[in-house]
Copies of this chain bind each other. A is one copy, B any other.
Amino acid sequence: MSQAHAFFETHQSTLLQADAANRSREFWSPYPEAPSGRVYGENAAVDGESRFQGYLGKPFELAGIGALGEVAEEVSPYGIDLGVRYQRPDTEALITRMQDAMGAWREAGPDLRAGVCLEILHRLNRRSFEMAHAVMHTTGQGFVMAFQAGGPHAQDRGLEAVAQTWSAMKAVPDTARWVKPQGKNPPITLDKRFHIVPRGIGLVVACATFPTWNTYPGLFASLVAGNPVLVKPHPGAVLPLAISVQVAQQVLAEAGFDPCLVSLVPDSRAEPVTRSLAQHPAVRLIDFTGSSAFGDWLEANCPQAEVFTEKAGVNCLIIDSVDSMKAVARNLSMSLSLYSGQMCTTPQAIYIPRDGIDSAEGRLGFDDVAEQLAGSIEKFTSNTEVAVHVLGAIQSEETRARIEASASLGEVVLPSRALVHPEYPAARIRTPLLLKVDAADIDAYGEERFGPISFLVATDDTDHSLALAQQVIAGKGAITLGVYSTDEAVLDKAEALAIDARVALSCNFTGGFLVNQSAAFGDFHATGGNPAANASLTDSAFVSRRFVVVQSRREVAAPQA
């Protein structure tokens, strides 16, 4: 039995469970999210950190072709200069090699390719502590979040994509005998073969805030469908993807395939390579997470490729009425604080009737609502030692500057403060900025302000809130819509709005789960139906365009009478 067969046998039951979870959409995950020695082994935490430390200031070894010099631009948002050096490959030579390697990878078929992909994910899972440090010190996420979102949750998303793609490929039989009756004459009989044929080379363009979570779906969906994949990291967040590519290359090589089927193409801010790669005739699939401007450019200018984008948006949240404003404020304060609002799912525009809302404790004015929310954030962030682990650090200097610049966009309800991290005094840490604006100030709250910047928008009433949210989402897109209401009629209107605007809705979250959170197998992330994204993680449209079916037919001679 080949190594690839062995990987498939080892992971077949995980694959089938993932397929079942994709269909039931019930909770399931094979990758434990607890950063715990009991789960990952007593030495996992220490080993992971030491492996991370071992990368710093050194060249990172990967299979590749040629070298056009090195790049090394990563600086931790916690103030450490990482100094990891990555080779820039000769992309023309690399693409030729990947094309040569594609035949054997295609011929391996869906099962063996899935086996290889699941082994890659399994090994990435075992290295989740190391990944956590790499993600933390590139994205700025707090350690636990970096562990979970960068490790097991990203692995879940990768597995979800593998299972969804595998299932789409397996829906086409390998062969069929087609027998068409011809009345009294012998039937027409054709033997058919159906080949799953990859599109070509895939390019996955990563972002700096979720380098693995947002990259694994496209990477693994393309790879399991038979496409070689170029991984283009953000210059500021290379290490998590370098580790991912290294693991993929090791597994591919062990299974007898060219490790370059998954290759890293790092670039520098001064010499970006994405545009030319994206328009390369051999590149037939592009997955992108990042700005709307660049995502729109990719969609319009790469006709040779299938393009999947997740771009910017303005997430909206509507407060109509509540049981306990305290519970709402507690939940929302965590939504706004988690990773300092640097999630593509964080609410930005929060619509509240200007004459207030009903609650179980009586009527609350607009300012009461604002005060309770601000108070809840203030209370949470006042405990610096706890808060820094939730807030994490601000990934980029641009985002930090945006917080300052945004303070003039409305009346400051809660100013953003700098916190000093007890372990990393140079860390770029900021608490959420809360602004009060009027519904008319749509230029302020109706543009994406990436980072811990949120607007409390005073509206005429909830119908006005709904109409504004609809307008903003239709124009700018959104990945999340939240609503708080004790009135079923309002919840129905919100559901109708979500359907109309094609945005995911979360209702009345007051417990431990946040509107920001999106779990593989259970949640579709983005719908692909509004300007924030043209694709959804992970629906059938996301996977089925990554391969075509080529059939062949042979006549079967009628038996002699």
Binding site for B on A (CB under 8 A): 23-27, 106, 168, 171-173, 176-182, 188, 190, 192-195, 197, 199, 299-300, 303, 495, 498-499, 502-513, 519, 522-524, 527-529, 536, 539-541, 544-545, 548-555, 557-558
User: Shortest CB–CB separation between residue A194 and chain B, in angstroms?
Assistant: 7
CB-nearest residue of chain B to A509: B555
* B529 close to A197 (CB less than 8 A): yes
**Chain B residues positioned under 8 Å from A299 (CB to CB):** 303
Rounded to whole angstroms, the CA-CA distance of A300 and B552 in the bound complex is 31
User: Shortest CB–CB separation between residue A100 and chain B, in angstroms?
Assistant: 13
CB-nearest residue of chain B to A483: B552
**Chain B residues positioned under 8 Å from A194 (CB to CB):** 25, 524
**Chain B residues positioned under 8 Å from A523 (CB to CB):** 192, 551, 553
**Chain B residues positioned under 8 Å from A550 (CB to CB):** 498-499, 502-505, 527, 529
* B551 close to A541 (CB less than 8 A): no
**5 A–B contacts from the bound complex (CB under 8 Å):** A23-B171, A25-B192, A178-B519, A299-B303, A536-B548
* A178 close to B509 (CB less than 8 A): no
CB-nearest residue of chain B to A175: B25
Rounded to whole angstroms, the CA-CA distance of A550 and B500 in the bound complex is 9
Rounded to whole angstroms, the CA-CA distance of A554 and B176 in the bound complex is 45
CB-nearest residue of chain B to A530: B548
Rounded to whole angstroms, the CA-CA distance of A527 and B550 in the bound complex is 6
Rounded to whole angstroms, the CA-CA distance of A300 and B301 in the bound complex is 9
User: Shortest CB–CB separation between residue A510 and chain B, in angstroms?
Assistant: 7
Rounded to whole angstroms, the CA-CA distance of A171 and B541 in the bound complex is 12
Contact with A505, one of B172, B510, B540, B553 (Cβ below 8 angstroms): B553
**Chain B residues positioned under 8 Å from A507 (CB to CB):** 552-555
* A498 close to B552 (CB less than 8 A): yes
Interface of chain A: mostly helix, strand, loop or mixed: mixed
**Chain B residues positioned under 8 Å from A540 (CB to CB):** 168, 171, 540, 544
Rounded to whole angstroms, the CA-CA distance of A303 and B298 in the bound complex is 12
* A522 close to B178 (CB less than 8 A): yes
**Chain B residues positioned under 8 Å from A173 (CB to CB):** 23-25
Rounded to whole angstroms, the CA-CA distance of A179 and B194 in the bound complex is 39
**Chain B residues positioned under 8 Å from A557 (CB to CB):** 511
Q: Do A551 and B505 form a contact, CB below 8 Å, given A24-B173, A544-B540?
A: yes
User: Shortest CB–CB separation between residue A474 and chain B, in angstroms?
Assistant: 11
Rounded to whole angstroms, the CA-CA distance of A508 and B540 in the bound complex is 36
Rounded to whole angstroms, the CA-CA distance of A182 and B513 in the bound complex is 11
* A506 close to B179 (CB less than 8 A): no
**Chain B residues positioned under 8 Å from A188 (CB to CB):** 511-513
CB-nearest residue of chain B to A552: B505
* A197 close to B513 (CB less than 8 A): no
**Chain B residues positioned under 8 Å from A26 (CB to CB):** 176-179
* A524 close to B549 (CB less than 8 A): yes
Extra pairs beyond A23-B173, A299-B303, A510-B555 (16, CB < 8 Å)? A23-B171, A106-B499, A171-B540, A197-B499, A199-B529, A495-B552, A502-B550, A503-B550, A506-B553, A509-B555, A513-B555, A523-B551, A528-B548, A540-B544, A541-B541, A545-B545
Q: Do A504 and B24 form a contact, CB below 8 Å, given A197-B499, A199-B529, A540-B544?
A: no
Rounded to whole angstroms, the CA-CA distance of A528 and B524 in the bound complex is 26
* A499 close to B195 (CB less than 8 A): yes
Rounded to whole angstroms, the CA-CA distance of A27 and B524 in the bound complex is 36
* B549 close to A536 (CB less than 8 A): yes
User: Shortest CB–CB separation between residue A495 and chain B, in angstroms?
Assistant: 6
* B176 close to A24 (CB less than 8 A): yes
* B555 close to A508 (CB less than 8 A): yes
**Chain B residues positioned under 8 Å from A554 (CB to CB):** 507-508
* B552 close to A506 (CB less than 8 A): yes
**Chain B residues positioned under 8 Å from A23 (CB to CB):** 171, 173
Rounded to whole angstroms, the CA-CA distance of A499 and B549 in the bound complex is 9
* A522 close to B192 (CB less than 8 A): yes
User: Shortest CB–CB separation between residue A178 and chain B, in angstroms?
Assistant: 5
Q: Considering the complex of A and B, which 4 residue pairs feature the smallest CB-CB distances, nearest first?
A: A529-B548, A540-B544, A505-B552, A25-B176
Rounded to whole angstroms, the CA-CA distance of A541 and B549 in the bound complex is 10
